[in-house]
Amino acid sequence: MMSDTSERSQKTYMLNMGPAHPAMHGVVRLVLELQGERIVDVDTEIGYLHRAFEKHAENETWNNVVPWTDRLNYVSPLINNVGYAMAVERLAGIDVPERGQYIRVIACEISRITDHLTCVGAGAMELGAFTVFLYLIKAREYLYQLVDNLTGARITTAFTRVGGVKGDLPADFAEKFAAIAKEIRTAVAESDKLLTRNRIFMDRMEGTGIMSPADAIAYGITGPFLRSTGVAYDVRRAHPYGVYGKLDFEIPVGTTGDNYDRYLCRMAEIEQSLRLVEQCLAQIPEGKHSLEPKEIKYAYEIQDAGKHGDTALLAKYAAKVDQTLAGMSKDDQPNTRVLDRKITLPAKETTYGSIEGLMNHFELVMWSWGVKIPPSETYFAVEGGNGELGFHIVSDGGDGPYRVRCRPPCLFPMAALKKLLIGGQIADIIPTFGSVNMIAGELDR
């Protein structure tokens, strides 16, 4: 709260910053009490993008919540997909095939890179370094195209399913990523040359937005923000999930906990994520995910054949589907999803080729008939772009969650924003708020 008017010095004045201010992204309002250029007090107002994620989730079936998770941190949606699916799987006692786990880690690390590229690029742009923004957003575009190739969408990916992922890696995925990784490293190196020892950039970043390790822990801050203070906490290392326990990676940490350290941590984490994806592509177990053209028919051709009674031919062919349904064939499923008819949709060949498969499909997608999880509750967390992204999920035995609670990692540094800003200058608000990497869809939920 602002200081009482009767107690306030006559030399201070109020300034409203946001939500229309460009640096506030249209979704945050700061009410500043200023003494000249110095910030005396701050009132942070959030909630401009509240979308009722948790209430929506409680009115959906288990798998239908996945598209809602895309809209949390929409800069790294694949991490949201994986975090929610793994929470439900812990609740149901489901183990995903190893290849599916590797694919999830690949997807998460690609999303982490896009998150950090966006944060560093946008933060640099707001300080006037527009060239860096162009370099890093161009690099991000290459990754978005790769994600589109993998999931069928650039941002609203909805890639996971309870029990696995939607589909396998495209046949040329590793080659495409190798070429893109080279472009990203070049863009990061060029940006490093332009920023890291740039006197203007350093003057704006060094010594501003300082947070001590003790204060960061007290506020519940995690992710690059916490690591910039020198605390090497990373959910992937502290509580390994998926196949992270089999991978080698470093946890970059800072020393002073200022805006400059947060920039350096994110730049270093981009390289670590590239290394993780490269390790996954080298170690991932083999799995068939492409067929000879002569063995493939379009899904509508198989469907028509079934309608005409030509069922003897159906077992010979796999279904060719568009990118949105890629991975739904009989040859992909054993590698990427749990083969349990009570949880996983049947392959398209089975759905189109037999009445039992068609019934199984409809039972899983019909309200009150889908995946059923025994009454229980759990909490599961993954390392999101901003830190610990957790889901507390309660099941009452129905076909959807009774209660979903999301732990949004950027909420906690936003709670500490007042402490970060008081005593600084108006100009310090821009780099400090940028280093928080506030994503409104995640913050307000």
Whole-number mean pLDDT of the chain? 87
Phi, psi of 342 (to 5 degrees): -85, -10
Decide which of 318, 339, 365 is a domain's last residue.
365
Percent of the chain topping pLDDT 70:
88
Same domain for 351 and 214, yes or no, is: no
| 390 in the same domain as 316 | no
Cα distance between residue 315 and residue 319, in whole Å? 10
Is there a single domain that holds both residue 188 and residue 298?
Answer: no
Tell me the residue range of the domain where 164 lies. 63-286+378-420+427-444
Verify that 203 and 266 share a domain, yes or no: yes
CA distance 221 to 68: 24
Residue 354 lies in a domain: yes
Residue 6 covered by a domain? no
Q: How confident is the model at residue 1 (pLDDT cuts 50, 70, 90)?
A: very low
**pLDDT tens per residue, range 347-403:** 777 777 788 888 888 888 887 787 888 899 999 999 999 999 999 999 999 889 999
Whether residue 234 sits in one domain with residue 195: yes
Q: Indicate the SS3 state at residue 147.
A: helix
Q: Does residue 336 contact residue 104 with C-beta atoms inside 8 Å?
A: no
Q: Tens of pLDDT along 126-182?
A: 999 999 999 999 999 999 999 999 998 999 999 998 888 888 888 889 999 999 999
- What pLDDT was estimated at residue 143? 96
Q: Number of folded domains in the chain?
A: 3
- Reported as a single tens digit per residue, the pLDDT across 264-318 is 999 999 999 999 999 999 999 876 433 344 466 666 677 777 776 666 666 666 6
DSSP 366: S
Q: What is the pLDDT of residues 45-81, one digit of tens each?
A: 998 888 889 999 999 999 999 999 999 999 999 999 9
Cβ-based neighbours of 341, under 8 Å, separated by 6 or more: 360
Q: Do 275 and 306 reside in the same domain of the chain?
A: no
Do residue 132 and residue 239 come from a single domain? Answer: yes
**What is the percent of the chain with per-residue pLDDT over 90, rounded to a whole number?**
63
Evaluate whether residue 54 is within a structural domain: no
pTM passes above 0.85: yes
Residues 357 and 246 reside in one and the same domain:
no
